[in-house]
Chain A
Amino acid sequence: MTMVKDRLEKHLLDSLPSGALAVDRENRILYVNRALARVVGIHIEEWEGRPLEEFLQLLDDRFQCPSNLALRLEWDPHDRSTRSREMEFREKGGDRVYYVREDSRPLRDAEGRVVGRLFVYHDMRREREIDRMKSEFIAVASHELRTPMTSIKGSVDLILSGYAGDISTDTQELLEIAQKNCDRLIRLINDILDLAKIEAGQIRLKLEPLDLTDAVEHSMLGVRSLADQSEIRLTLFRPESLPLVEVDKDRIEQVVTNLLSNAIKFSPPKGEVRVELDLVDGCVQCCVVDQGCGIPEDQLTNVFGKFQQVANSKAKGGTGLGLAIVQALVNEHRGKIWVESRLNAGTRFIFRLPASEAAPGAPGPSSS
């Protein structure tokens, strides 16, 4: 029975389109499947029982390998985690490039003891090609949508400026509607492209150590005039000191600004929007609290979805993508975000970012 099972397992591994390599605890090769043997150009039988270093040397002879390949394949027998990495191999003396994702996990015997490690190599060329096509689409769509918008916005703005002569009140009102919606369309185009870039992993975060207080204060300054229009008070509660977070300053300010703008838009006139910063479970937590009408419970789960505006939010001029972008950006920073809300009792948007050092302090208010 065991022999049948072993043969079946080998047959299954040989049928895989992905490469597979298993080693024992002493880094001797237990098994190389057909797909990997074909790419590397070896006979499976000759390699069983041979040291892994020899296999690495062979790879090094045939491919320009990632410099840390050996480190990746050297593994700690006590490491029981599953790991995943992407690598690139260029054929020496040829033009083939293999984009590979390596998934490795502990190999266990029937009793569950770790007896080695299994490495599986997936060909990522198709994914790379799709990524490339997506990038190309983003670039073309961006250009093709912005070009006509330039003429429309420019013309409307110029007429409204009086450049082409006096216009009647009705004409002015109609053109202002066109102008407002033109600006909205531009924001929508920007948001769609921004989200597409984040989702395609095309944004490069410029990570730097930052006191989140600085980003919040800067964002509060940016939305001050919006708050003033409805006489809304902006208040910041923060500890005396906070650990730094490793973030892209511009992108985190984008997150905070978006949450603040939403909070202001949904707050009653002369209300208060509060930002609370704190250290919680090794993370710096930022909470944006409004006194607005709240979000119905059945819509809470959709709030970060694309074009998922809550019932009365369309009138506020949003694109329906702001919170999707906010969530994607927080995720890119290895953080998490969620919302708490009750109807007619306000809403709290909370996000946490991993702290890069510990220095807690006592919370205290400061007005902005």
Chain B
Amino acid sequence: MTLSKILLVEDDVDIQKVVRMSLKLRGVKDILVAEDGEECLAVVGGLKPDVILLDVMMPKLDGYETCRRLKANPETRDIPVIFLTAKAQQFEIKRGLEEGACGYLLKPFDPMTLHDQIVALLNQKGDGPKKA
């Protein structure tokens, strides 16, 4: 099972590259990047990604608020959101899930298993990708 289109919302250019390479390694074809929450909200409607990987600490609009707005919009509410963040405290994880995310992955992550972790989280919620 492989994801085909992922929207990564991340302001750190180095981490963008690592995520991109790690997912490419597992055959993900389209990895689109938004630099912050505002850009994510502006482009997500036209992209229809399989999943949004969302950082928390970003300029303009943070990840929590971005997720809240994605879930409040009927056009984007069904797109699964997974936080990929260095915010590792229990209350931060709780908040992320309360905002409607289907999963929470911590940085530093293992680039060799990132794809599998995303798929596992999506399958848990019944949002897994269709068989290729």
Contact = CB atoms under 8 A, between A and B. Distances in A.
Interface in A113-171: 138-139, 142-147, 149-155, 157-158, 161, 163
A193 B88 CA distance: 10
A149 B87 contact: no
Contact of A150 (B21, B87, B92, B109): B109
Given A147-B107, A149-B108, A154 B22 contact: yes
Given A143-B57, A147-B12, A158-B22, A153 B89 contact: no
Contacts of B110: 153, 157
Given A138-B89, A151-B15, A154-B15, A146 B25 contact: no
Contacts of B109: 150, 154
Interface in B79-94: 86-90, 92
A186 B108 contact: yes
Nearest to A147: B86
A158 B89 contact: no
Interface of A is mostly: helix
A146 B107 contact: yes
Nearest to B89: A139
B89 A150 contact: no
B72 interface: no
A161 B14 CA distance: 18
B116 to A, nearest CB: 14
Nearest to B13: A151
Contacts of A145: 86
Contact of B25 (A150, A155, A161): A161
A146 B86 CA distance: 6
Interface in B12-52: 12, 14-15, 18-19, 21-22, 25
B21 to A, nearest CB: 5
B112 interface: yes
A147 B15 contact: yes
Contact of B18 (A139, A155, A186): A155
B129 interface: no
Interface in A52-84: none
Interface residues of A, number: 23
B111 interface: yes
B58 to A, nearest CB: 12
Contacts of A138: 89
B109 to A, nearest CB: 7
A332 to B, nearest CB: 15
A161 B112 contact: yes
Nearest to B14: A151
B15 A158 contact: no
A52 B18 CA distance: 67
Contacts of B111: 153-154, 157-158, 161
A197 B19 CA distance: 30
A225 to B, nearest CB: 17
A329 to B, nearest CB: 15
Contacts of A193: 88
A186 B109 CA distance: 11
Contacts of A149: 107-108
A158 B86 contact: no
Nearest to B57: A143
Which of B19, B87, B107 lies at the interface centre, i.e. has the most chain A CB atoms within 10 A of its CB?
A: B107
30 contacts: A138-B89, A139-B87, A139-B92, A142-B88, A143-B86, A143-B88, A144-B86, A145-B86, A146-B106, A147-B12, A147-B15, A147-B86, A147-B107, A149-B108, A150-B109, A153-B108, A153-B110, A154-B15, A154-B19, A154-B21, A154-B108, A157-B112, A158-B21, A158-B111, A161-B25, A161-B112, A163-B25, A186-B108, A193-B88, A197-B89
Across the A-B interface, the 5 shortest Cβ-Cβ residue pairs: A154-B18, A146-B86, A151-B14, A150-B107, A150-B108
Interface of B: 12, 14-15, 18-19, 21-22, 25, 57, 86-90, 92, 106-112
Given A142-B89, A150-B15, 19 more contacts: A139-B89, A142-B87, A143-B86, A147-B86, A149-B107, A150-B12, A150-B18, A150-B108, A151-B15, A153-B108, A154-B18, A154-B22, A154-B108, A154-B109, A154-B111, A155-B18, A158-B25, A161-B111, A163-B25
